[in-house]
Amino acid sequence: MTIPQERILILDFGSQYTPLIARRIREQHVYCEIHPYDMPESQIKAFAPKGIILSGGPETVTLESTPRAPKIVFELGCPVLGICYGMQTMAEQLGGKVVACSNREFGYAHAQITEPTELLKEITDKKGNPYLDVWMSHGDHVEQVPPEFIIILNTPNTPIAGMADPKRNFYALQFHPEVTHTQQGKEILERFVDKICDCRPSWTAHNILEHEIAEIKQKVGEEKVLLALSGGVDSTVLAALLHKAIGKQLLCVFVNTGLLRTTDKDSAIQALADDMNISVVKIDASDRFLKALGGITDPEEKRKAIGNLFVEIFEAESTKHPDIAWLAQGTIYSDVIESAGTTTQKAHAIKSHHNVGGLPDTLKLKLLEPLRELFKDEVCQLGLELGLPPELVYKHPFPGPGLAIRVLGEVTPKNIDLVRKADVILQEELRKHNHYDKISQAFCVFLPVKSVGVIGDARQYAPIIAIRAIETIDFMTARWAHLPYALLETISNRIINEVAGISRVVYDVSGKPPATIEWE
């Protein structure tokens, strides 16, 4: 087992941003884990953190019944950073006072550093002044710091926006350094991890690979594993990883759902089968998926129907191979988080990703999800480390339920065909104009709303294609890509001219949040 000894523990009080704290720490190549705030004291001790971060959360410490950090957090002698609710519970538990704000503070704030301490030392605004542009989201605030603490930061609305007890290495911030809206947030977290907790950057792709291989070997032993290959990056990386860890004990199955883009199945399977010599069983189930989706318009219902059919198919396939004991899935951390299936269970569900949520009891296989704790970019690094070609590793992600969630309303062969054809044009033009690699994900969405147009001299009353293109690092938040107008014009003209049955093309200019990346 090669998990680095220098690791950070994040205790989750239920903030939607908690995964971003982990994201920011892992970006520094420092290992960290998120656990529920009520992690047993014995487990906290055994984890032996070099530092602890207390996350934000939706509750208020002004009520006695709400969450508190285990006492041991403040007794271990390691540095502690409280963020938002984490700051408030630190204040309350160590003898300070927290009250409800008369004016709640959400959004940007301009904060002044009054005492830099080790946490904010050398951090300034662009002009070199001791100011921070921070993202606030709180209803309560600290009115009085605990004994031994000093105030390190204020904003016009929040006189105690940060506090510290430098002797004990306790620090706390009312704002969220983990969100990219806080301009100097990354630097602040880096200082905490590097300068205060003294963690070296040892969580590298090589290290992750060693760790994963050891874990898989130990878990699986001599048993056989069935892997559901989707054609996407995650399951392709997983196939390469499992192949390296257990070789011939792996059997890959690729199901053609009929919901893929034209290129997905070819490139991934070719790389695995031809270049890595992994055997792949192909099953064509496109008719079954279409039938299962018939009449369904609700996004969650679609996901369920697809998930259930996948399980059914794998169940049937596994009975052909009685020596198989495990079903491997390429679930990654953001799938888990967005389904609120985090190990902590403290956040609210956004949408259910079909590959999260366990397996029915009827499936006699054990579930193996080695990528479950990894973020997307860690999965990509792992793919490169395993020798997969960069163009495969860095291709835009494609969701498990495929085009079914990009055809709004009922999924019919005709509508899938339209969105697929439009998508080919979009991808071609993005690559041709060197924009594919500059953005994180782009795709077409079929809208079952008709609008009027004129093709030649004839009136056309036909559905619409929406284009979604985004830039993001972690897919948890995203900005719509500011593609050049000329490029959008070319794409739009081509789709309307070449895809018969589309009257209009629109561009999605919504950020995440509040909009999600996929439309369903």
Strand partners, 99: 141
Closest contact distance (angstroms) between CB of 259 and ligand XMP is 11
Shortest distance in whole angstroms from residue 244 CB to ligand XMP: 23
236 is in an annotated binding site: yes
Residue 472 counted as an annotated binding residue:
no
**Residue 128 to residues 123, 132, 181, 182, 195: CA-CA distances in angstroms?**
8, 11, 19, 16, 21
Task: Give 475-492 as a DSSP string.
Answer: SSSBEE----HHHHHHHH
Question: Is 442 in contact with 478 (CB distance < 8 Å)?
Answer: no
**234 labeled binding residue:** yes
Residue 516, number of CB atoms within 10 A of its CB: 14
Cα distance between residue 455 and residue 301, in whole Å? 36
**Residue 518 Rama label (left phi>0; alpha psi -120 to 50; beta):** beta
Let me know if 380 is a catalytic residue. no
What torsion do the CA atoms of 98, 103, 108, 112 make, to the nearest 10 degrees? -60
Please confirm, yes or no, whether 178 is among the known catalytic residues. Answer: yes
CB of 323 to ligand XMP, least distance (A): 28
Q: How far apart are CA 222 and CA 208, in angstroms?
A: 22
Q: Is 125 annotated as a binding residue?
A: no
Cβ 152 to ligand XMP, closest distance in Å? 35
Report the number of secondary-structure helices (H) and strands (E) in the chain.
Answer: 15, 18
Measured from the CB atom, is 162 or 399 closer to ligand XMP?
399
Map residue 112 onto helix, strand or coil. strand
Nearer to ligand XMP, 162 or 401 (CB): 401
Between helix 286-293 and helix 299-319 the angle, nearest 10°, is: 140
Contacts of 266 (CB under 8 A, 6+ apart): none
Determine whether the annotation assigns residue 318 to a binding site. Answer: no
Helix ranges (DSSP H) in 170-298: 185-190, 205-220, 233-246, 264-270, 286-293
**Of 271 and 478, CB closest to ligand XMP:** 478
* Shortest distance in whole angstroms from residue 100 CB to ligand XMP: 32
Say what the alpha-carbon torsion angle 154, 155, 159, 164 is, to the nearest 10 degrees. -30
Single out the catalytic residue among 6, 27, 105, 178. 178
Distance in Å, CB of 172 to ligand XMP, minimum = 31
- Active-site residue, selected from the candidate residues 35, 176, 211, 353: 176
Catalytic residue at 206? no
Catalytic residue among 32, 78, 84, 380: 84
CB of 78 to ligand XMP, least distance (A): 34
**What number of other Cβ atoms are within 10 A of residue 284's Cβ?**
11
- Order of strands, edge to edge, in the sheet holding 162-165? 31-36, 7-12, 51-54, 80-83, 170-173, 162-165, 150-154, 97-113, 131-144
Smaller CB distance to ligand XMP: residue 501 or 513?
Answer: 513
Q: Is 133 annotated as a binding residue?
A: no
At 48, list the tokens: 């032996």
Give the C-alpha separation, 436 to 429, whole Å: 9
Closer residue to ligand XMP, CB minimum distance, 243 or 303: 303
* C-alpha R_g of the chain: 25
Q: Which is nearer to ligand XMP, 184 or 441 (CB)?
A: 441
* Residue 15 marked ligand-binding: no
Closer to ligand XMP by Cβ: residue 406 or 504: 406
Which residues of the chain form contacts with ligand XMP (CB under 6 A)?
303, 335, 338, 351, 353-355, 397, 399-401, 441, 475, 512, 516-518
Please state, in angstroms and rounded to a whole number, the distance separating the CA atoms of residues 55 and 178. 10
Binding site residue list for ATP:
230-236
Q: Which residues are catalytic?
A: 84, 176, 178
Binding site residue list:
230-236
